[in-house]
Amino acid sequence: MNNQSMQLVEIVSKIAELAIRRACGLQYSLEELPPSLRKPAKEIIEQISAQLVLRDKDTLRCKICGKGPFTRKGLYLHIRRVHLDQVYQIARRELEDYLWRLRNT
pLDDT per residue as tens digits for the range 45-98: 999 999 999 998 889 999 999 999 999 999 999 999 999 999 999 999 999 999
Q: What are phi and psi of 16, to 5 degrees?
A: -60, -45
- What is d(CA 9, CA 86) in angstroms, rounded to the nearest whole number? 14
- What is d(CA 54, CA 90) in angstroms, rounded to the nearest whole number? 17
Residue 1, pLDDT above cutoff 70: no
In the prediction, which pLDDT does 102 show? 87
Q: Residues 39, 75: contact at Cβ < 8 Å? A: no
In the prediction, which pLDDT does 105 show? 82
Tally of domains within the chain? 1
Domain range for 72: 3-103
- pTM (two decimals): 0.92
In the prediction, which pLDDT does 67 show? 97
Tally the residues of the chain. 105
